[in-house]
Amino acid sequence: MWFEDVPLGTTITIGSYLFTEDNIIAFAKRYDPQPFHVDKDAAARSPYGGLIASGWHTAAVWMKLMMAYRRDHVAAGAADTQANYVSPGVRDICWLRPVRPGMVLTYTNKPSAKLDWPSRPQYGLLEGENEAHDQEGTLVYSFVNRVMLLRRPAL
């Protein structure tokens, strides 16, 4: 989909992910080895009362699901206009609730703003509001992503 074609304000569900003791600990051992992310016993004694996922794990899963969502859409016949998704950054990351083993988070994305990117006029900058809810429907994570999308080539 070209930059011009993305509808603003429409929420899509990009996918769900089960956080387990194994994947929480595996991620955190490499990238965030704080006791409440890697050690069940230490986590039980922490203010969190048990093991919780690294916030960067919750964040990286969004990217994983977004890539799978786009791949599936292209496989289903959507136009594959963007060879790469490049981002200058993200903002307003909110880890609102601890993510614990057994939680399934469902991630959504809502394109919310289109901005110009003067240094690369062939691209536009799309901002999106992203949320993840648990099985009970409680909001546990949100952030705003920014991605550069190719504009529709001039005819």
Partner 1 sequence: MTELLHFEDFRAGQLFELGAHVLDTDEMIEFAREFDPQPQHLDPEAAQHSMLGGLAASGWYLCALAMRMMVDGLFNRSTSLGAPGVDEVQWRKPVRAGDRVHLNCEVLETRGSSRPERGFVRFRFSMWRIIDGADDERVMMFVCSVMFGRRKGGV
Chain positions contacting partner 1, by CB under 8 A: 27, 30-34, 36, 46-47, 52, 54-56, 59-61, 63-64, 67, 83-96, 120, 143, 148
- Give me 109's structure tokens: 């994305």
Shortest reach from residue 34's CB to partner 1, in Å: 6
Q: Which is nearer to partner 1, 111 or 140 (CB)?
A: 140
Q: In 3D, which of 140, 150, 146 has the Cα closest to residue 105? A: 140
Q: Which is nearer to partner 1, 7 or 34 (CB)?
A: 34
Shortest reach from residue 114's CB to partner 1, in Å: 18
Q: Which is nearer to partner 1, 7 or 47 (CB)?
A: 47
Shortest reach from residue 139's CB to partner 1, in Å: 13
> Sign of torsion, CA 14 16 17 19?
positive
- Rounded to an integer, what distance in angstroms lies between the CA atom of residue 90 and that of residue 138? 23
DSSP β-ladder status, 12-18 and 104-116: antiparallel
> Sign of torsion, CA 25 141 102 51?
positive
8 A C-beta contact, residue 115 and residue 144: no
Shortest reach from residue 94's CB to partner 1, in Å: 4
Q: Which is nearer to partner 1, 2 or 56 (CB)?
A: 56
Shortest reach from residue 44's CB to partner 1, in Å: 15
Q: In 3D, which of 15, 92, 21 has the Cα closest to residue 51? A: 21
Q: Which is nearer to partner 1, 10 or 119 (CB)?
A: 119
